[in-house]
Amino acid sequence: ENVTIYSQKYLKPNISSLNIYPATLSTNQTVFCNATFLLNDTDTGSIVFNWSKNGVSVETDTVSGLSNYSVGTANSSINTTIGDILSCSAYSSLNLDIGSVQSDITLNSSNVTVFNSAPNVSSITLNTTNPANNNTNQNLTAYVTTSDADGNSVKSIYNWYRNGTSF
């Protein structure tokens, strides 16, 4: 029986320039990680991103169909709280008919720490104490709607103005 053996040398894919951003994160903010796919060939490949929170792997994302010098970007909406530390690592792979070829290196991002989020004012409403008689002799009442992504209580501070002058 005759056996034909085909041999072809495949170049291993690689990645460079792993970045995590934004550099300053607040609670439950989307974080991004990107890297450049490198391959001296006409094939396409993938970058596999692994997300870690406080040193524990929590999520894996794969960006496929990348050609040489393409940038792959993954994003994560990991639930976070103040003080959490996020990072990502990445490696490249090439899927072939005979199996998968993985890069020899894994790049690791710098750590990004989650900071306190600023509170949000979603609405302010001014009402008179007597809407039927809305004139200058009526008192004004301010109603403010606020929220805080970290669950902190929000203190609203009012500064009243009349004709552009604080009083």
Q: What is the pLDDT of residue 56?
A: 97
**pLDDT band of 151, cuts 50, 70, 90:** confident
Q: What average pLDDT is seen over the chain? A: 86
Write down the pLDDT at residue 7.
43
Identify each DSSP E strand in 67-153 by its residue range: 71-76, 85-96, 99-102, 107-108, 112-115, 120-128, 140-147
- Based on the number of CB atoms within 10 Å of its own CB, is 71 exposed (0-12), middle (13-18) or buried (19 or more)? middle
Instruction: Convert the pLDDT of each residue in 34-43 to its tens digit.
Output: 999 988 777 7
Q: Which tens digits make up the pLDDT trace of 112-142?
A: 999 998 899 999 998 887 777 767 777 888 8
> pLDDT digits over 23-76, tens only?
888 888 899 999 999 887 777 889 999 999 999 999 999 999 998 899 999 998
pLDDT of residue 37: 92
- Residue 91 pLDDT greater than 90, yes or no: yes
